């Protein structure tokens, strides 16, 4: 994983969601969605990292997390990695509204819910307003799922154009 600068060394301790999207109602990362997952992503070098603690309601079987919940978490953190990369590359004051265009998750092993989960995502390629992102979910230092995705900044008139405002 490129550009993380070491564990615990945050470039910006305030979450991207709280700084740029305090009124978002996104199920995965919206601060205003009381029933959502409320992911809080921070920047660490070129990576976007979020620590998240699952509860019993996030179980798929035994004491292991739901693949659907894992997918939502990786998608939201990946989307923020894309928006942050575009913001930096274009010298913007705020991230553009971005959406998921393509997305793949690979489940490598079950993710236990008795420990905190770490989501990490980073841009791997940018082409105009399109950003390829890779990411992973780790539990106790073991990677349990990975993702790749294509995220796209939308233009005015798209329903997600003002999603962060």
Over residues 76-102, the pLDDT tens digits come to: 999 999 999 999 999 999 999 999 999
Residue 42 in 3-state DSSP?
strand
Q: In the prediction, which pLDDT does 78 show?
A: 98
112 within some domain: yes
64 within some domain: yes
Overall average pLDDT of the 53-80 stretch: 97
Task: Provide DSSP, 59-87.
Answer: EEETTEE-HHHHHHHHHHHHHHHHHHHHH
Residue 58 belongs to domain with CATH number: 3.10.129.10
42 within some domain: no
Tell whether the model's pLDDT for residue 146 goes beyond 80.
yes
- For 47-86, give one letter per residue: b (16+ CB within 10 A) or e: bbbbebebeeebeeeeebbbeebbbbbbbbbbbbbbbbbb
138 within some domain: yes
Q: What is the pTM of this model?
A: 0.90
For residue 101, give its domain range: 47-153
Q: In the prediction, which pLDDT does 1 show?
A: 54
Overall average pLDDT of the 28-49 stretch: 96
Q: In the prediction, which pLDDT does 8 show?
A: 39
Rounded CA-CA distance 51/87 in Å is 22
């Amino acid at each position: 994983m490129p550009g993380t600068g070491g564990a615990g060394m945050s470039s910006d301790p305030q979450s991207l969601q709280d700084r740029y999207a305090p009124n978002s109602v996104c199920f995965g990362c919206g601060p205003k969605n009381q029933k959502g997952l409320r992911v809080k992503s921070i920047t660490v070098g070129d990576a976007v990292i979020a620590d998240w603690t699952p509860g019993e309601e996030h179980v798929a079987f035994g004491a292991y997390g739901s693949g659907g919940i894992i997918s939502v978490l990786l998608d939201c953190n990946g989307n923020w990695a894309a928006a942050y990369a575009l913001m930096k590359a274009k010298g913007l004051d705020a991230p553009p509204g971005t959406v998921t265009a393509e997305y793949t998750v690979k489940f490598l092993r079950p993710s236990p819910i008795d420990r905190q989960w770490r989501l990490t995502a980073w841009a791997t390629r940018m082409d105009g307003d399109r950003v390829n992102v890779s990411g992973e979910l780790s539990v106790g230092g073991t990677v349990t799922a990975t993702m790749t995705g294509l995220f796209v900044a939308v233009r005015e008139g798209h329903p997600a154009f003002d999603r962060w405002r």
